[in-house]
Chains A and B, each alone.
Chain A
Amino acid sequence: MAVTRTFLLIDDDTDDRELFAEVLAAVDPVITCKQAIDGEEAFRKLQKGTEQPDIIFLDINLPVMNGWQFLRKIKTADGLKDIPVIMYSTSSDQNDKETANVLGASCFLTKPNSYKDLKGLMEAIVAAARQNNPATAICKAIASYRRSQ
């Protein structure tokens, strides 16, 4: 059974990071949530790191190296390009979603507007993370969660 152990959340917003990690921990204490505040820091850590995250959650508006730059970089980096990336942004702009798709993000998750939503989504994500192809499963879970709302 494929096991998802680690998420990496790249977001410069402290509240959002904390909220994400907190809700994740509440929903599933086993999955660790690593964090980075900009693309550059994240990319540096990933290049060095030995324990790579299973899935990356990526914000768009980031200092130093923004989400698009990071996405472009990681998707062309040997050894890192297979780590699935799920966009995690405030934006719900269709253009942004298309850009994400073109640059190779697995899917686009607009930051939920309510705590309840975040919790529900996280439950769906965590449940999907246990499946064989976690990124695809998570994207499906997000889509179906959105539809059910």
Chain B
Amino acid sequence: MNTNVSVIPEFLAGGGEMGARIREYDWAATPLGPVDTWPQSLRTCIRIMLTSRQPIWIGWGKELIKFYNDPYKAIVGGKHPWALGSPASVVWKDIWKDIEPMLRQVMQEDEGTYVESQLLIMERNGYAEETYYTFSYTPIPGDDGGTAGMICANVDNTDRIISERQLKTLTQLGKRLAGLQASRDVIQQTIYTLEENPQDFPFALFYTVSDNRATLVNATELGDAAPQVPAEIDLDGPGLGALLQRAALLRQPQILEGLEAIMGAMPMGSWTIRPTKAVILPIVSATVKEPYGFLVAGFNPYRLPDEKYMGFCSLIMDQIMSGFADVHLLEEERKRTAALAEIDRAKTAFFSNISHEFRTPLTLLLGPIEEALQNPAIDTDLKAQLDIAYRNALRMQKLVNTLLEFSRIEAERVDGKFTRVDICRLTVDLASTFRSAVEKAGMALNIECSYTEAEVYVDVEMWEKIVLNLLSNAFKYTNQGHIDVRVQVADEQVLLSVTDTGIGIAADQLNKIFDRFHRVENIQGRSQEGTGIGLAMVKELVKIHKGNISVSSHPGAGSTFTVVIPTGKAHLEDGRIEENDPDTIISKQADAFLQEALKWLPEAPQYEAATNDASDPALYKVLLADDNADMREYVQRLLAHQFRVITAVNGEDAFSKMLQYKPDLLLSDIMMPKLDGFGLLQQVRNHPDTRHIPVIFLSARAGEESKVEGLDAGADDYLVKPFSARELLARVEANIKIAKSRIAAENNVRNMIMQSPIPMVLLRGDTFSIEIVNEKALELWGRDHENAINKPLLEVLPELDKQGFGQILHEVYTSGVPYHGNEIPLELMRFGKPEQLYLNFIYTPLRDAHNVVTGIIAVGVDVSEQVIARRAVEQNEQELTELANAMPQLVWVAGPKGETVYINNRLSQFAGERNLQYGDGYWGWVALTHPQDLAPTETAWQKAIATGSVFQFEHRMLMKDGSYRWHLSRGIPQKDDNGQTLKWFGTTTDIHTAREYAALLEQEVKNRTHELQELNIALQRSNEDLQQFAHVASHDLKEPVRKIKTFSNRLQYEYGDLLPEKGKTFLDKVQRATERIFSMIEGVLSYSTLNAAEQEIEKVDLNKTLADIEEDLEVSIQQKRARIVRSELPVVEGASILIYQLFYNLINNSLKFARTDELPVIHITCSTLQEGGQDYVEVAITDNGIGFEQEYAKRIFDTFTRLNAKDKFEGTGLGLALCKKIVERHHGSITATGIRDEGAVFTILLPLIQIQRPFKADSNGSNENLFTNR
């Protein structure tokens, strides 16, 4: 051994650049001395350091001579490489005073220490970067036991520190921007928050935009830089303006490079260098095109604007934008509220004005009526009418007064005049006025008041309204039971409650009941009349008393309204109290409430008009339905002279009277208790007995909309209150006349249908209810009248719908277009049996006076017999034609004079177009016959016609392809009893083949030879195509399979732990199956490549080939703990890739099929031999694997042959086939012998020299295609 060459000690091996530097360093010149004198602990530490991927440095000896590894180079930065071997105090001169105490602690006290997340500006990736490291100093004992050095390991915390900092900024921003009221605040808070993160945002400027100019409105502390910052930026301008514009358009942050050139030296934030870039964040609303503003923020000089940083900026931008959006929403809301309040005021003013306008004419109405009524000479009949007028004028006055009062309260112009009252007496007196009405309705009124001397102040008029409204309300919505009024004084409060046993209020209506104009829909009160402001006013009145009102209710069981007001007068303004009037008198308003309530009671008999001449049968009957007695009386009086009037008090009553009296017209109010006008109309229209009765609606609901609603619902006419007597009479009369003529018309239709000799039916409505049906139709259907009339057609004949008739009916009904059906097959269940019919039918839409389709008239004729008979004939003809067409000959029929009357479709085989015109008795055979044969043929035919004898002749005819073919024509005459020819039946048969058989045969042989040659070429081409296909297909197959593998592997890798056991098994199965497909494709690929590719012949050293294979199979060899023993092998000629594949497959095969109970051993031996003047090498590969039965020795080389279950042994079934192919390509051979469970021997014979060179892919002769069946 040469002593001059120093041996590299093992602990210094590897370690990249630093490993090399440490090895090359002249340590003898340092206090550490030569390497071989180094203590064991230093060696161990250096070994650890060099192999670690974590940045580590070691200081050794008193001076802490520095060692470090490759990852540490970034930390030591510019001091690399001289820092190696230098004392720590020199290397870290700049921070020595910070770290020296720590190092001393380590070295002298043998105690470790560490520094967490130290900021280090490092150039790790080619730029100065903000990084954070946590590092620890650990003492290392020397061989003598004392501390001889230290080791320092560093951990990179950069990502964590930066992420935490950014998260904090985002969280703060989110918190601060929430719920702000003004845009100014959003900007202020944004700037304030960004100022707290001077690392990422050294400065921040906020610009708002108007008229395409951005104006600086807020900024972080700018110091000296303040004057440089542009106060305004023109967005249409170049440079910065264009960049802002771009940011706004893209709605994405933009980077401003070269900051210093544009704005000068900007604040540094927490750094010691200035930012060179800024980020521009556009603040753009999702809906408005012009940006609200821009945030321009300085960029951290120690970071790149990478995805992470930009992502962070985008989040900041989103936060600010949502802050603005919130503020915007708030402002919109404020504006809306103001607008609503304005509308409200306008409405109240309107009510106030309109009510005043009403009062004047009302007063002028009431005065004269009162006077007239007081005239003793007045006639009774007239008095009754005047009474009605008076009562209703009073009612109207009350409504107007209520409205006026209410609008005054709303406008806050009512303050009340409060006097001290005996609240008990006042309330009891008021409530008692309702007693008569309540008892008349068969209910009880209980009034309860504990006598009290409490000091209670109320505005008497208002209190009256409160009590009367509540009572009136209770009475209106209570049909039976009792109403309880109770007054209590307790805890310095007066408590008034009104409880009823009425219909109650649904829970969802409770909180709306005190709203103005709110009316609970569809409830069964005594009346539908009302203004909808009673309870709202009560609420306001209670409020003026500084009290409150509440309601509780159980639908169906009753409601309780409770009013609470304070006692005493402390809560009232002094100026509103009038002490001097302790006595109160119940005012006139109680009477108005009572009068109204009484009218809600059923039929006051005194108003039943005596003029009702309901018994005259000659008059038309009109049913009048209205819940208002006065209205009933008025209308009845108007109609009584011309009509017989029947009255009903609500919808239900009306309907039962409709059925009872069958009136000629119904005149109905819309708003009625129990069943309203629309409900009544629907019932009337749905009942066959009342369907045709005309209906006129009467309603106070004016306006086009309700009119349309009424007519849409099916009313014939609509009268709006108030109406004149003349108008009413005219409309009633007209509608009755129209109805009568309609009924007459319908009767005509009925008669026509009933008497029709063909089946006819009238279907009404979209249910196709059978309104009229005649006997013929019932007969056709096989149904009787009783089971059909007034029932939907599709119920009576359910089989129709299934056969598509239902849909036709619906189409006719909705489109209004008639439908004609011809010979439509129909299967009917007639008298319980299915029967096939054919129908001709027409569905005609039936329209009413408004041209709306209301039904369908169906007329049908049973044409089954005709159809069946005709079909039989048609079928017969069809069969004959088919028979004729099935014959290989031309079949023809000719008339007695030889004119053709029929010819089968073999005619298409012949030439020309003339022959198609056989309809006129001439199909052109003359033109088709060979000129040489024409004359004799015609002679023979004419002769046959003349003699009536059988015609037979051979002649050539022109075929479609232009050739002449020999034909035998033969015709037989059909004769009548007199022997006269009626028809000729004939055939023309192609006998060309027979005639020209010999010539043909000869030609055939020639053709066949030619065809075979072509086939051969085609085969060759197709073979190449197939190979190309296999190659391409395998490539394309590989793509998706590789993806399945990748993603299933990823699934296992990332989510494997989450899967249940079963899931893991499934995934495992997927992966194994995919693995197999993949290997299979690989196999197919190499197999097909083998055929296609042209391979260069070269010298192949089998020793090297096998060495390569062993290296490539290293993993598998190690796994199976296999041993390969090989003798020296020769150099052969061949394609190196193929030879490699050959041995690779064989050895891989041996490894794959190894026995589990024995370690695999593969012997490779060889010998050379001579055969046919050529040198061969014989290579034997012997293994001790599972072997195979000898009978399979040949088959195992076939493609896709597998001897073993695929779940036990992997394999594609292509490996050995490939081997065989490769060997044969090299003009060698391969054989296999095996013994089951003992092993196999594969023997390859290869020529040492390839004589044909270069050898090519298989030529057509020896080509074995992958896809050829064998």
Q: How far is the CA of A84 from the CA of B6 in the complex (A)?
A: 39
User: Is residue A48 within 8 Å, beta carbon to beta carbon, of the partner chain?
Assistant: no
A-B contact count (CB 8 A): 55
User: Is residue B731 within 8 Å, beta carbon to beta carbon, of the partner chain?
Assistant: no
Encode contact with A along B873-884: 1 for CB under 8 Å, 0 otherwise. 000000000000
Closest B residue by C-beta to A94: B1137
Q: How far is the CA of A29 from the CA of B156 in the complex (A)?
A: 14
| Contact B1035–A90 (Cβ < 8 Å) | yes
| Contact A114–B1049 (Cβ < 8 Å) | yes
User: Is residue A41 within 8 Å, beta carbon to beta carbon, of the partner chain?
Assistant: no
Closest A residue by C-beta to B80: A1
Stretch at the interface among B272-280, B1038-1046, B1150-1158, B1191-1199: B1038-1046
Encode contact with A along B1097-1125: 1 for CB under 8 Å, 0 otherwise. 00000000000000100110000000000
User: Is residue B1085 within 8 Å, beta carbon to beta carbon, of the partner chain?
Assistant: yes
Q: How far is the CA of A114 from the CA of B1047 in the complex (A)?
A: 7
| Contact A91–B1115 (Cβ < 8 Å) | no
| Contact A29–B308 (Cβ < 8 Å) | yes
Q: How far is the CA of A94 from the CA of B1049 in the complex (A)?
A: 26
Encode contact with B along A64-102: 1 for CB under 8 Å, 0 otherwise. 000000000000000000000000001111110000000
User: Is residue A51 within 8 Å, beta carbon to beta carbon, of the partner chain?
Assistant: no
| Contact B1045–A113 (Cβ < 8 Å) | yes
Residue of A90, A95, A112 touching B1038 (CB-CB under 8 A): A90
- Whole-angstrom distance between the Cβ of B650 and the nearest chain A Cβ: 73
**Residues of chain B with a CB closer than 8 A to A5's CB:** 125-126
Residue of A30, A93, A114, A149 touching B1085 (CB-CB under 8 A): A93
| Contact B306–A29 (Cβ < 8 Å) | yes
Q: How far is the CA of A3 from the CA of B1111 in the complex (A)?
A: 34
Encode contact with A along B1042-1062: 1 for CB under 8 Å, 0 otherwise. 110111011001100000000
Residue of A15, A61, A95 touching B1093 (CB-CB under 8 A): A95
| Contact A112–B1046 (Cβ < 8 Å) | yes
**Residues of chain B with a CB closer than 8 A to A116's CB:** 1049, 1053
| Contact A118–B1089 (Cβ < 8 Å) | no
Encode contact with B along A107-149: 1 for CB under 8 Å, 0 otherwise. 0000111111111000000000000000000000000000101
User: Is residue B1078 within 8 Å, beta carbon to beta carbon, of the partner chain?
Assistant: yes
| Contact A30–B125 (Cβ < 8 Å) | yes
**Residues of chain B with a CB closer than 8 A to A19's CB:** 1046
Known: A3-B126, A5-B126, A91-B1035. A149 touches B1115 (CB 8 A): yes
Closest B residue by C-beta to A114: B1049
Known: A91-B1035, A94-B1137. A113 touches B1042 (CB 8 A): yes
User: Is residue B733 within 8 Å, beta carbon to beta carbon, of the partner chain?
Assistant: no
Q: How far is the CA of A32 from the CA of B1049 in the complex (A)?
A: 25
List residues of A (1-54) whose CB comes within 8 Å of B's CBs.
1, 3, 5, 13, 15-16, 19, 29-30, 32
Residue of A1, A13, A112 touching B1039 (CB-CB under 8 A): A13
List residues of B (690-744) whose CB comes within 8 Å of A's CBs.
none
| Contact B1089–A113 (Cβ < 8 Å) | no
Interface centre among A16, A19, A90, A92, by most chain B C-beta atoms within 10 angstroms, is A90
Known: A29-B306, A30-B125, A115-B1053. A93 touches B1045 (CB 8 A): no
Known: A93-B1089, A115-B1050. A15 touches B1043 (CB 8 A): yes
User: Is residue B1082 within 8 Å, beta carbon to beta carbon, of the partner chain?
Assistant: yes
Encode contact with A along B762-788: 1 for CB under 8 Å, 0 otherwise. 000000000000000000000000000
**Residues of chain B with a CB closer than 8 A to A111's CB:** 1042
Q: How far is the CA of A93 from the CA of B1049 in the complex (A)?
A: 23
Closest A residue by C-beta to B1092: A95
Known: A115-B1050, A147-B1114. A1 touches B126 (CB 8 A): yes
Residue of B73, B125, B1046 touching A118 (CB-CB under 8 A): B1046
Q: How far is the CA of A119 from the CA of B544 in the complex (A)?
A: 80
**Residues of chain B with a CB closer than 8 A to A32's CB:** 306
- The secondary structure that dominates the B interface is helix
Encode contact with A along B1070-1089: 1 for CB under 8 Å, 0 otherwise. 00000000100010010001
**Residues of chain A with a CB closer than 8 A to B1111's CB:** 147
Q: How far is the CA of A5 from the CA of B1136 in the complex (A)?
A: 40
Closest B residue by C-beta to A113: B1045
Encode contact with A along B293-324: 1 for CB under 8 Å, 0 otherwise. 00000000000001110000000000000000
Q: How far is the CA of A114 from the CA of B1085 in the complex (A)?
A: 20
Q: How far is the CA of A19 from the CA of B125 in the complex (A)?
A: 24
| Contact A115–B125 (Cβ < 8 Å) | no
| Contact B1114–A114 (Cβ < 8 Å) | no
- Whole-angstrom distance between the Cβ of A108 and the nearest chain B Cβ: 15
**Residues of chain A with a CB closer than 8 A to B1114's CB:** 147
**Residues of chain B with a CB closer than 8 A to A118's CB:** 1046
Q: How far is the CA of A16 from the CA of B1089 in the complex (A)?
A: 26
Closest A residue by C-beta to B308: A29
**Residues of chain A with a CB closer than 8 A to B307's CB:** 29
Q: How far is the CA of A112 from the CA of B306 in the complex (A)?
A: 28
Interface centre among A93, A117, A149, by most chain B C-beta atoms within 10 angstroms, is A93
Q: How far is the CA of A61 from the CA of B1043 in the complex (A)?
A: 16
Closest A residue by C-beta to B1041: A113
**Residues of chain B with a CB closer than 8 A to A3's CB:** 125-126
Q: How far is the CA of A147 from the CA of B1047 in the complex (A)?
A: 23
Known: A13-B1039, A29-B308. A92 touches B1082 (CB 8 A): yes
- Whole-angstrom distance between the Cβ of B380 and the nearest chain A Cβ: 99
Closest A residue by C-beta to B1045: A113
Closest A residue by C-beta to B1078: A113
| Contact A90–B1042 (Cβ < 8 Å) | yes
Q: How far is the CA of A147 from the CA of B1111 in the complex (A)?
A: 8
Closest A residue by C-beta to B1085: A93
Closest B residue by C-beta to A127: B53
- Whole-angstrom distance between the Cβ of B1107 and the nearest chain A Cβ: 14
**Residues of chain A with a CB closer than 8 A to B308's CB:** 29
**Residues of chain A with a CB closer than 8 A to B1043's CB:** 15-16
Q: How far is the CA of A112 from the CA of B1042 in the complex (A)?
A: 8
**Residues of chain A with a CB closer than 8 A to B306's CB:** 29-30, 32
Q: How far is the CA of A113 from the CA of B1049 in the complex (A)?
A: 8
Encode contact with A along B1019-1038: 1 for CB under 8 Å, 0 otherwise. 00000000000000001001
Closest A residue by C-beta to B1082: A92
- Whole-angstrom distance between the Cβ of A103 and the nearest chain B Cβ: 18
- Whole-angstrom distance between the Cβ of A46 and the nearest chain B Cβ: 21
Q: How far is the CA of A32 from the CA of B304 in the complex (A)?
A: 12
- Whole-angstrom distance between the Cβ of A65 and the nearest chain B Cβ: 19
Q: How far is the CA of A68 from the CA of B1126 in the complex (A)?
A: 41
- Whole-angstrom distance between the Cβ of B1144 and the nearest chain A Cβ: 12
**Residues of chain A with a CB closer than 8 A to B1046's CB:** 19, 112-115, 118
Q: How far is the CA of A49 from the CA of B1043 in the complex (A)?
A: 32
- Whole-angstrom distance between the Cβ of B1249 and the nearest chain A Cβ: 24
- Whole-angstrom distance between the Cβ of A10 and the nearest chain B Cβ: 16
**Residues of chain A with a CB closer than 8 A to B126's CB:** 1, 3, 5
Closest A residue by C-beta to B1075: A113
**Residues of chain B with a CB closer than 8 A to A30's CB:** 125, 306
**Residues of chain A with a CB closer than 8 A to B1093's CB:** 95
**Residues of chain A with a CB closer than 8 A to B1049's CB:** 113-117
**Residues of chain B with a CB closer than 8 A to A147's CB:** 1111, 1114
- Whole-angstrom distance between the Cβ of A101 and the nearest chain B Cβ: 14
| Contact B1089–A95 (Cβ < 8 Å) | yes
**Residues of chain A with a CB closer than 8 A to B1050's CB:** 114-115
25 contacts between A and B (CB under 8 A): A3-B125, A5-B125, A5-B126, A29-B306, A29-B307, A30-B125, A61-B1035, A90-B1038, A90-B1042, A92-B1082, A93-B1085, A94-B1137, A95-B1093, A111-B1042, A112-B1046, A113-B1045, A113-B1049, A113-B1078, A114-B1045, A114-B1046, A114-B1049, A114-B1053, A115-B1047, A116-B1049, A147-B1114
Extra 10 A-B pairs, beta carbons < 8 Å, given A32-B306, A113-B1046: A3-B126, A16-B1043, A29-B308, A90-B1035, A93-B1089, A95-B1089, A115-B1049, A116-B1049, A117-B1049, A119-B1053
6 nearest CB pairs, A to B = A115-B1050, A114-B1049, A3-B126, A115-B1049, A113-B1045, A90-B1038
